[in-house]
């Protein structure tokens, strides 16, 4: 069995695959990456008062709302070699998919999440992450639970049967790419560094499932809410998830039992 076939088997069985050094660090990619990092940091510093009001600020996980640079990095990634590899692994044609361009930010000294998926199994979406700077255990690598992507797992079943299984921290170098199923259980970890952790995030959905898909590409990069929204109710929920974590988990388990 050749490497591509081995990779495809791994992806099907585990729900993710990491492709190292897929984007060559040429002048264009490096320039775009550095501009995204610099502009995100400038926006964060200048707008911190407003960012503190966003849902997700307390946990430290926020969304990077795109400008043209994020779309340009997708275009660099999406050459014929990557298309061929992606379509072989996933059995999906990129031309049949809507691409949502975005990013995930983990704030300094923050970032711990509870395990979750990014949507129900039936949505059948894929996520492509691109590293524009090094991500290691000091600056909030994503922690994933392999092989939890291909069946419906209620919250209580996850904590009973899956929580104690072997997990993986996704450490990435510049230009590495992670492809994963959106229904794979995972969580954000704490950013122990003094810098923003920025990871580009491309959400791929079948065009047939969302024919009216539309996304705004901003003139400049912006930071927005993420898992938790900015309503009062959501902020209370976020507070409980952080400071009363056992209560939050118990609530989620009970809710999943009665639904």
pLDDT computed for residue 99 by the predictor: 97
Other CB atoms within a 10 A radius of the CB of residue 248 amount to 17
In 96-151, at which residue ranges do the beta strands (DSSP E only) sit? Answer: 97-106, 126-131, 142-144
Is the model's pLDDT at 224 over the cut of 90?
Answer: yes
Is the model's pLDDT at 67 over the cut of 90?
Answer: yes
Is the model's pLDDT at 233 over the cut of 80?
Answer: yes
- The pLDDT of 49-77, averaged and rounded, is 96
- The pLDDT of 87-108, averaged and rounded, is 97
The first and second tokens of residue 65, run together, are 């709302």
Is the model's pLDDT at 68 over the cut of 90?
Answer: yes
Helical H runs in 47-151?
48-51, 68-77, 80-90
Condensed to tens digits (0 to 9), the pLDDT of residues 177-213 reads 999 999 999 999 999 999 999 999 999 999 998 889 9
- The pLDDT of 118-134, averaged and rounded, is 92
Q: Please give the model's pTM, rounded to 2 decimal places.
A: 0.94
Quickly state the pLDDT bin for 135 (edges 50, 70, 90).
very high
Quickly state the pLDDT bin for 32 (edges 50, 70, 90).
very high
Q: How far apart are CA 30 and CA 174, in angstroms?
A: 9
Instruction: Give 114-118's long-range contacts (Cβ < 8 A, gap of 24+).
Output: 114/187, 114/241, 114/245, 114/248, 114/249, 114/252, 115/145, 115/158, 115/163, 115/185, 115/186, 115/187, 116/185, 116/186, 116/187, 116/227, 117/182, 117/183, 117/184, 117/185, 117/186, 118/182, 118/183, 118/203
Q: Which domains does the chain have, with CATH numbers?
A: 3-208+215-258 (2.60.120.620)
């Amino acid at each position: 069995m050749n490497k591509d076939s081995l990779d495809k088997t791994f992806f099907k069985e585990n729900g993710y695959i990491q492709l190292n050094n897929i984007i060559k660090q040429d002048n264009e990619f490096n320039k775009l990456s550095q501009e995204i990092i610099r502009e995100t940091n400038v926006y964060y510093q200048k707008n911190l008062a407003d960012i503190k009001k966003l849902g997700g600020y307390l946990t430290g996980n926020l969304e990077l709302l795109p400008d043209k640079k994020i779309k340009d990095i997708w275009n660099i990634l999406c050459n014929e070699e990557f298309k061929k590899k992606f379509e072989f692994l996933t059995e999906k044609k990129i031309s049949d998919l809507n691409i949502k361009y975005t990013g995930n930010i983990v704030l300094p000294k923050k970032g711990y999440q509870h395990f979750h998926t990014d949507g129900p199994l039936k949505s059948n979406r894929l996520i492509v992450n691109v590293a524009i700077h090094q991500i290691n255990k000091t600056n909030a690598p994503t922690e994933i639970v392999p092989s939890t992507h291909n069946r419906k797992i209620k919250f209580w079943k996850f904590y009973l049967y899956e929580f104690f299984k072997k997990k993986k921290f996704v450490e990435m170098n510049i230009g590495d790419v992670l492809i994963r199923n959106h229904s794979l259980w995972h969580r954000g970890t704490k950013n122990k560094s003094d810098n923003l952790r920025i990871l580009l995030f491309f959400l791929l959905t079948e065009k047939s499932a969302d024919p009216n898909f539309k996304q705004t590409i901003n003139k400049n990069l912006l930071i927005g809410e993420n898992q938790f929204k900015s309503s009062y109710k959501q902020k209370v929920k976020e507070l409980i998830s952080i400071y009363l974590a056992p209560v939050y988990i118990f609530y989620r388990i009970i809710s999943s039992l009665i639904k």
